[in-house]
Amino acid sequence: MDWAWAIRGWLDKAVGGVGLRRGRRHPDDIWVGESLDFWRVQELVPNRRMRLLAEMKAPGKAWLEFESEPQASGETLLTVSAYFDAHGLSGFLYWYAMWPFHKFIFDGLTREIAKRAQEISEQYSVSSDQ
The 8-class DSSP code of residue 103 comes to H
Give residue 46's pLDDT band: very low, low, confident or very high (50, 70, 90).
very high
Q: What is the largest CA-CA distance in the chain?
A: 59
98-121 pLDDT, tens digit per residue, is 899 888 888 988 899 889 888 888
Spatial contact of 32 and 44, defined as CB atoms under 8 Å apart: yes
Residue 37 or 33, more confident? 33
User: pTM for this one?
Assistant: 0.79
Q: Which helix or strand (DSSP H or E) is residue 13 part of?
A: helix 2-14
Spatial contact of 42 and 74, defined as CB atoms under 8 Å apart: no
Beta strands in the chain (DSSP E): 35-36, 39-45, 49-54, 60-70, 76-86
2-19 pLDDT, tens digit per residue, is 777 777 777 777 777 777
Give residue 96's pLDDT band: very low, low, confident or very high (50, 70, 90).
very high
